[in-house]
Structure 1
Amino acid sequence: MLNKEYEKAQELKQKLLKEYEGIPLEEVINGEELKTERGTCYRIETQDTITLKMVSQERAKEKILSDLKLVYGVGEVTEWNLKAEGYDTIKDLLHHLRYGSEAAKALAVDMGDMYSMVAWVGRWLPKSHPLILYSSSFQNRNDFIILDIETMGLSSLPIILCGVAQISGNQLFLNQYLLRTITEEPGALSAFLSHTTEKSIFVTFNGKTFDIPYLKERLAYYGLKEKLENPHVDLLHFSRRAWKTRVPDCRLTTLEEHLFGIKRENDIPSALVPDFYDTYMKTGNVGPLIPIVEHNKQDIVTLVNIFSRLHQEWE
């Protein structure tokens, strides 16, 4: 983090402390107390209109089946030779003397099962390959769980805000579960779990490395034995593959600015979220919570936009 960013954030914090001194949370951040079987937390609900464009199932299937390298034993040179002989798709290989049986195994993979798709494609191609992203086209959009958490540190410290969004039609329904005190973490975790099912598919940015392992650790701390082994679309890896040569770095805010022309105002770096929350806890002033909640919300909206843009980029 640059000194300029730090100084700007500290100026913002002082401004917020002055502006919201003595004002209750409910008057500053619209929400309500949520009671769960594990305790309470503060729920903030918002709804936004979105445009999520995804590669059609037909196009995704066409792309996947035209990659002969997904058949065991076929490399780039062999694929080129086979296509020169008229074998354009995996289906065409069914009657090939050498590759027919392996082609049949490939075609037996259920494209509607993201676990199977990722496992199959991932055996032969990098996990950031567009064909992995295409597998999301076969899923019900209602099953996507767009997730982003804010924490008090990099490990073994409480999750102070959990943002969970789901899609219905052209609407994004976002629930943010905020801790008014650290003791509300079990309630927020329980609220998060209420959104997940066996069919859920996580959509995150670096969530395979950070968000999901962190959630598992905090759940285990409270004796909540949830595996969270759902299929996972981590947009960081796809973003690096798609744009790393076209942007200064692949931070979420950098992609947001270069892809969508969005320049955040009064935002704070993720590294300063603990500092702002700690100030809230020490002073009881809810002002420093405002940029934390807004930061989390914008991250999730940008996740949806990046998800959509990747599908368009690789269509």
Structure 2
Amino acid sequence: MFIKKPNLVNIVAVVATIASLGVMSGCKDDENTVPASANTNAKSSVKSDELAFDELNSTFSAKFENPGQGAPDSYLDILNPAVGFGLYNNLRNWEESGQDIAELLKTSVLGEAESSEVFKLGREYDDATDEFKKRDLSEQILAQTKVEASKVDGNRLVRFLSVPGQQAALKLSKYNFEEKNFKIDHCLFSDKLQYSKDEQRIAQNLKGADQERCYFRTSNTELKIGFVGGSNVRLKVEDPELARKIAAEKDSLRIEVFGYVDSVQRDKVGGALVKERRVLISPQKLVLIGADRNVILETKI
């Protein structure tokens, strides 16, 4: 590539210009000088913009401590659509209007409407065309939401039964001979929230707990259920015969998870709350159930 040699006159002119600019910037009384306060104002403006961005884009979250384990019959069935809905609305510490909740519930399907009055009202809201009718229904939905929330008041213990072939069925990993344990090999039990750029390049080769965290839905709405702390869950099995039995039956095992609601969350993007809500569960105990419905292993976490 040919590069033209610079003309000496031009070089001198540039140097002279730079020198004159240097003199000007050092002169206090020159109109072109920039006061030190301007830099401070610029920095303040940047901080203000950052604060404004954080205020407009954030996650509302209500987080809770481990209440300890309870009796088996005290755990609520999180697969019941009304349970997740009731827990979310009982535990959140931010306001949601009747119309906001109605927009969540309007995609409810028939089976969910049978499980709770509030889901039925959500379907009616979606079918309504009259604005006054919609307003009346949104007020009824708000009132019924409070009823559903009161049903679970004081109880954050939940259980989740994973059945092979059904939605959100958990799977066990292969047996780790060195550590003598199994783990849950499913994205539901992953604490990975986002891949780095390097990880994205090999993401197609990752599976199970190496994937980004996923959620499941118990209703045809954007209320999602997930787990936290799942990446660290291990099922210690030192007995080689028991380990062999679990490995042989792992594809047909039912896995029951007992835990508590760790937090409920909702994101705000651009100053507006998104439709998705989340209920996050922290596991306390896992139970492996064989095809004959007998318990093979029960382990506390």
**TM tier relative to shorter chain:** under 0.3
**TM-score (normalised: structure 2):** 0.21
Q: TM-score, normalised by structure 1?
A: 0.20
Instruction: Report the structure, 1 or 2, having the larger helix content.
Output: 1
Higher RCO (C-alpha under 8 Å, 6+ residues apart): 1
Q: Which has the larger radius of gyration?
A: 2
Considering fraction of residues, name the structure with more strand.
2
